[in-house]
Amino acid sequence: MKMMNAFLVSVFTVFMAIAATPALAIDVTQSTPGISGYDPVAYFTEGKAMKGSGYHVANYQGVTYAFATKDHKTMFEANPEKFVPAYGGYCAYGVAVGKKFVSDPEAWKVVNDKLYLNLDKDIQSKWLQDVPGFIKKSEANWINIKDKAASEL
C-alpha cells in the first residue's frame, strides 16, 4: 500500500509540474478571444455586431478572433489591420481619458473605416457627442498607455 501511495504522489507531482509550465499558460492566453468572441469583419460587412464561431478562427498579434463565416475569416486574414478594433479593443472613450476599459462588443461604431468600441451604451452616448475630438485625444493617449496594464492607469 505504501508503494502505491508513493507512486500516486509521484504521478500527481509530475502532473502538477507539467500543468504549471509557461507553455501551457501561453496556450490559455492564446485561446482568449478578441472582442469577446464577436466577428470583427461583421461590423463592416453586415453593419452589426455578430458572435463568431469556434469553427472559423484566426490569430493576429497574439489575439484569437472568431468569425461568423469562413468568408469573414478569409477577408480578415487578407487584411487584418482593416478589421481589428482601435486601441486593442479597449474602450475608445476610456483611452481618450487615459484609461483602458474593457469594451462591450455591442457598443461600437465604424469611423473612417476603423472599428471603435466603447465600455457600454451609456459611455458610447458620451463618446458620440464629439467623436473626432475623442479620437484625437485617444490617438495622443494611446502612444503612452498602449504598453501599460489597465490596472496601472
Would residue 120 be called left, alpha or beta, if left means φ above 0 and alpha means ψ between -120 and 50 degrees? Answer: beta
Q: Give percent above pLDDT 90 in the chain.
A: 78
Asked whether residue 60 is assigned to any structural domain, the reply reads yes
How many domains does the chain contain in total?
A: 3
Asked whether residue 151 is assigned to any structural domain, the reply reads no
pLDDT reported for residue 25: 41
pLDDT reported for residue 1: 56
Average model confidence (pLDDT) across the chain: 86
Range of 2's domain?
1-31
Q: Are residues 40 and 53 both part of a single domain?
A: yes
Q: Are residues 57 and 99 both part of a single domain?
A: no
Q: Is the predicted pLDDT of residue 11 greater than 80, yes or no?
A: no
Look up the pTM and report it: 0.79
Asked whether residue 133 is assigned to any structural domain, the reply reads yes
User: Stretch 113-128: mean pLDDT, rounded?
Assistant: 97
Asked whether residue 77 is assigned to any structural domain, the reply reads yes
User: Stretch 102-114: mean pLDDT, rounded?
Assistant: 97
Q: Over the stretch 52-101, which tens digit does the pLDDT of each residue have?
A: 999 999 999 999 999 999 999 999 999 999 999 999 999 999 999 999 99
pLDDT reported for residue 138: 97
**Alpha helices, DSSP H only, in 36-152?**
42-45, 70-78, 80-83, 92-96, 121-127, 131-145
Q: Are residues 80 and 117 both part of a single domain?
A: no
Asked whether residue 134 is assigned to any structural domain, the reply reads yes
CA 111 from centroid of its chain's CA atoms: 19
pLDDT reported for residue 2: 56
Q: Are residues 94 and 125 both part of a single domain?
A: yes
Q: Are residues 89 and 135 both part of a single domain?
A: yes
List, as one string, the DSSP characters of 13-60. Answer: HHHHHHHTSHHHHHHHHHHSBGGGGB-TTHHHHTSS--B-EEEEEEEE
Q: Are residues 22 and 75 both part of a single domain?
A: no
pLDDT reported for residue 27: 45
